[in-house]
Structure 1
Amino acid sequence: MGGRGRSRTQRRHFKQSRENVWKRPKSDLPSSDNNNNNNDNNENDKPNWQPFATQNPAFDEYYKEQGIVSPEEWDSFMEVLRKPLPSAFRINSSTQFCPDIRSQLENDFMKSLQAEVTDGEVEAIRPLPWYPENLAWQSNFSRMQLRKNQTLERFHEFLKLENEIGNITRQEAVSMVPPLFLDVRPYHFVLDMCAAPGSKTFQLLEIIHRSTKAGSLPDGMVVANDLDVQRCNLLIHQTKRMCTANLIVTNHEAQHFPGCRLNRNCSSSSERGVGSLSSISQLIFDRVLCDVPCSGDGTLRKAPDIWRKWNAGLGNGVHGLQVQIAMRGVSLLKVGGRMVYSTCSMNPVENEAVVAEILRKCGGSLELVDVSCELPQLVRRPGLKSWKVRDKGTWLVSYKDVPKYRRNVIVPSMFPSGISYVEPTETNHDMELGEKHENDGNGNSEDGFKPPEDPVALADELDKEICNFPLERCTRIVPHDQNGGAFFIAVFHKHSPLPAMQEKPHILQGVDEQSVKSPNQVIEDMKELEVISGNGTDEKFSEAASEADLIDNEPDGAAVEPHICITGEEHTSEEMQATGHRETDRKRAGGKRKLQTQGKWKGVDPVVFFKDESIINSIKTFYGIDESFPLNGHLVTRNNDINHVKRIYYISKSVKDVLELNFSVGQQLKITSIGLKMFERQSSREGSSAPCSFRISSEGLPLILPYITKQILYASPVDFKHLLQYKTIKFADFVDAEFGQKASNQMMGCCVIVLSKGNNALDNHAQVNESTIAIGCWKGRASLTVMVTAIDCQELLERLLMRKEPENGSLGQEEKSDVEANKVQDSNGSIEKNENAEKIKLATSS
Structure 2
Amino acid sequence: MLAARSPISLHHRTIAGGQRRRCVGGSERKRDRPLGRHFTQALESLWRQSPRIPPPPRPAAAAATRGEANPSWQPPVLENAAFEEYYKVQQIVRREEWDAFMSVLRKPLPATFRINASCQFYKDICSKLENDFRRSLESEVSNEYGEDAIRPLPWYPGNLAWHLNFSRKELRKNQALEGFHEFLKHESEVGNITRQEAVSMVPPLFLNVQPDHCILDMCAAPGSKTFQLLEMIHQSKEQGLLPRALVIANDLNVQRCDLLIHNTKRMCTANLIVTNHEAEKFPDCSFEKDYSEAYMDSYMPQRLEFDRILCDVPCSGDGTIRKGHDMWRKWNSGMGNQLHLLQVNIAMHGIELLKVGGRMVYSTCSMNPVENEAVVAELLRRSGNSVELLDVSGELPELVRRPGLSSWKVQDRGSWLQTHDDVPKDRKNVVLPSMFPSNSTEQRRTVCGDVEVNIDNGISFSRNHNIEETSKVNHDMDGVSVNSNKNSDHGSDIVNSKFPLHRCMRIVPHDQNSGAFFIAVLHKSSPLYGYQRHGTKIQHMLAKGRIVHLQKEPEQETRPYETILTRQQNNDSEEVDDAELLSRRQNLSTDNQTTKGKNSIEPEMVFDDVESGQAEVGERRTKLQKQSRWKGIDPVLFFKDEVVIKSIISFFGINESFPLQGHLVTRSTDNARRIYYISKSVKEILELNAEVGEQLKIASLGVKMFERHRSKDGCSCAYRLSYEGLSLLLPYINKRILYASPLDFHRLLQYRTINFARFSDARFGEEAASLMPGCCVVVLLEGHKHVHSIKDSSTIAIVCWRGKGTMNVMVSPPDRKDLLERMAYRFGLKACTDDDKIN
- TM-score band (shorter)? 0.7 to 0.9
SS at match of 1:140: strand
CA deviations on 1:588-617 (whole Å, 9 max, x unpaired) are: 9799x9999987111100100000011111
Distance in 2, matches of 1:458 and 1:530, equals: 46
Q: Within the alignment, does 1:540 sit opposite 2:569 as a pair?
A: no
SS for the counterpart of 1:485 is coil
Question: Helix, strand or coil: the match of 1:340?
Answer: strand
Amino acid in the other structure paired with 1:678: M
- Are the aligned partners of 2:153 and 2:159 in contact in 1 as well (CA < 8 Å)? yes
CA contact (8 A) 2:504 2:519 kept: yes
1:621-700 matches, cutoff 5 A: 621-641=650-670, 643=671, 645-686=672-713, 689-700=714-725
What's 2:481 paired with?
455
C-alpha distance in 2, partners of 1:785/1:502? 59
Instruction: Supply the AA of the counterpart residue of 2:95.
Output: P
Unaligned runs of 5+ in 1: 1-5, 14-20, 36-45, 267-277, 424-435, 442-452, 504-526, 547-561, 564-579, 804-810, 825-831, 838-846
Say yes or no: does 1:56 pair with 2:59. no
Is the partner of 1:778 in helix, strand or coil?
strand
CA apart distance, 1:499: 3.0
Of stretches 248-257 and 78-87 in structure 1, the one that deviates more from structure 2 is 78-87
CA distance in 1, matches of 2:185, 2:163: 15
- CA shift for structure 1 position 626: 0.5
Q: State the shift of 1:740 in Å.
A: 0.9
Amino acid at match of 2:833: K
- How many residues matched? 694
Preserved CA contact (<8 Å) 1:634 1:656: yes
The aligned residue for residue 521 of structure 1 is none
Q: How far apart are 1:318 and its partner, in Å?
A: 0.5
Contact 2:287 2:303 in 1 (8 A): yes
Residue 218 (structure 1) aligns with: 243
- Aligned partner (choices 773, 788, 804) of residue 781 of structure 1: 804
Q: Aligned letter for 2:677?
A: Y
Aligned partner of residue 640 in structure 2, secondary structure: coil
Match of 1:126 in 2: 151
Q: CA deviation at 1:295?
A: 0.4
**2:439–2:498 CA contact under 8 A, matched in 1:** no
Q: Aligned to 1:474, which of 486, 504, 513?
A: 504
Q: Kindly tell me: are residues 116 and 584 of structure 1, through their superposed partners in 2, closer, same or farther at Cα, counting changes over 3 Å?
A: same
Q: Partner amino acid for 1:456?
A: V
Aligned match for 2:353, one of 332, 336, 341: 332
Amino-acid identity (%): 58
**Matched residues in 2 for 1:254 and 1:586: separation?**
16
Q: 2:518 aligns with which of 473, 488, 506?
A: 488
Residue 302 (structure 2) aligns with: 281
AA partner of residue 823 (structure 1) = T
1:823 aligns with 2:833: yes
Instruction: Tell me which stretches of 4 or more aligned residues in structure 1 moved more than 6 Å.
Output: 28-31, 420-423, 527-532, 536-539, 543-546, 587-591, 593-599
Task: Map Cα deviations across residues 70-125 of structure 1 (whole Å, 9 max, x no partner).
Answer: 12111111111111111111000101111111111111111111121335744111
Secondary structure at the aligned position of 1:68 is classed as coil
Conserved? CA contact 2:557–2:575, under 8 Å = no
Q: Tell me the amino acid that sits aligned with residue 109 of structure 1.
A: F
Does the aligned pair in 2 maintain the 1:214–1:706 contact within 8 Å? Answer: no
- Equivalent position of 1:600 in the other structure: 629
Preserved contact between residue 705 and residue 726 of structure 2 (Cα < 8 Å) = yes
Cα distance in 2 between the residues matched to 1:420 and 1:497: 18
Decide which of 215, 220, 241 is 1:190's aligned counterpart. 215
**1:8 to partner: Cα distance:** 6.4
Structure 1 position 310 matched with structure 2 position 345: no
Counterpart-to-counterpart distance in 2, 1:315 and 1:79: 23
TM-superposed CA distance for 1:834, in Å, is 2.2
CA distance in 1, matches of 2:519, 2:45: 22
Distance 2:563 2:497 in 1: 28
- 1:758 Cα offset (Å): 2.9
Residues 650, 678 of structure 1: 8 Å contact kept:
yes
What amino acid sits opposite 2:369 in the alignment?
A: P
In structure 2, give the amino acid aligned to 1:356.
A
Q: Does 1:381 align with 2:402?
A: yes
The CA distance in 2 between the partners of 1:167 and 1:7, in whole Å, is: 28
After superposing the two structures, state which structure 1 stretch, 47-56 or 473-482, moved more: 47-56
**Rounded Cα–Cα distance in structure 1 between residues aligned with 2:435 and 2:808:** 63
Letter in 2 for 1:682: H
> TM-score, with normalisation over the residues of structure 2?
0.77
Preserved CA contact (<8 Å) 2:576 2:630: no
Write the deviation string for residues 44-83 of structure 1: whole angstroms up to 9, x where unpaired. xx75642112111111111111110112111111111111
Give distance in 1, aligned partners of 2:42 and 2:115.
Answer: 34
Contact 1:262 1:664 in 2 (8 A): no
Residue 138 in structure 1 maps to residue 147 in structure 2: no
Cα distance in 2 for partners of 1:601, 1:152 equals: 47
State the distance in 1 between where 2:195 and 2:42 align: 27
Secondary structure of residue in 1 paired with 2:408? coil
Can you list the C-alpha shifts for 1:780-830, whole angstroms capped at 9, x where unaligned? 111111111222111111123223xxxxxxx22xx33xx2xx224xxxxxx
Unaligned runs of 5+ in 2: 1-40, 49-55, 292-298, 445-453, 460-478, 534-548, 589-627
Q: Is the Cα contact below 8 Å between 2:441 and 2:457 reproduced in 1?
A: no
- Equivalent position of 1:524 in the other structure: none
Q: Deviations over 1:447-490 (max 9, x none)?
A: xxxxxx97323677953111000000000001111111000000
Task: State the Cα distance separating 1:765 from its structure 2 match.
Answer: 2.9
Structure 1 residues 302 and 607, CA gap change in structure 2 (3 angstroms): same
Q: Aligned residue for 2:44? A: 9
Contact 2:317/2:365, CA 8 A, preserved across alignment: yes
Structure 1 residues 736 and 197 mapped into 2: Cα distance closer, same or farther (>3 Å)? same
Residues 412 and 420 in structure 1, CA contact (< 8 A), matched pair in contact too = no
Q: 1:455 to 1:146 in 2, by over 3 A?
A: same
What's 2:425 paired with?
Answer: 404
What is the alpha-carbon distance in structure 1 between the residues aligned to residue 416 and residue 550 of structure 2?
38
1:26 is displaced (CA, Å) by 11
Q: Which residue of 2 aligns with 1:617?
A: 646
- Once the two structures are superposed, the pairs formed by residues 433-444 of structure 1 within 5 Å of their partners are 438-440=456-458
Shift of the alpha carbon at 1:545? Answer: 7.2
Q: CA–CA distance in 2 between the matches of 1:106 and 1:7?
A: 37
- 1:790 lines up with 2:793 in the alignment: no
Give the C-alpha shift of residue 314 in structure 1. 0.4
Secondary structure of the corresponding residue to residue 700 of structure 1? helix
Shift in alpha-carbon separation, 1:194–1:68, aligned structure 2, 3 A: same
Deviation at 1:683, TM superposition (A): 2.4
State the partner residue of 2:321.
300
CA drift at 1:294: 0.3
Aligned with 1:118: secondary structure? helix
* CA deviations over 1:689-732 (Å, ceiling 9, x no partner): 31111111111000000000000011111111111111111111
Q: Please, which of 166, 181, 184 is the counterpart of residue 159 of structure 1?
A: 184
Q: 1:528/1:390 Cα in 2 relative to 1: closer, same or farther (>3 Å)?
A: farther
CA-CA distance at 1:34 after TM superposition: 6.8
| Amino acid in structure 2 at the alignment position of 1:718 | L
Q: Which moved more, 1:359-368 or 1:413-422?
A: 413-422
Match of 1:772 among 781, 784, 795: 795
Alignment check: 8 A CA contact 1:387 1:464 kept:
yes
8 Å contact from structure 1 (residues 298, 344) kept in 2:
yes
User: Matches of residues 335-354 of structure 1 in structure 2 within 5 Å?
Assistant: 335-354=356-375
| Contact kept? 2:664, 2:675, Cα under 8 Å | yes
Q: Aligned pair 1:497/2:527, yes or no?
A: yes
Separation in 1 of the partners of 2:575 and 2:385? 46
Distance 1:120 1:34, change over 3 A: closer
Match of 1:100 in 2: 124
Deviations 1:7-44 (A, max 9, x none): 9635699xxxxxxx9xx99958999x979xxxxxxxxx
1:372 lines up with 2:401 in the alignment: no
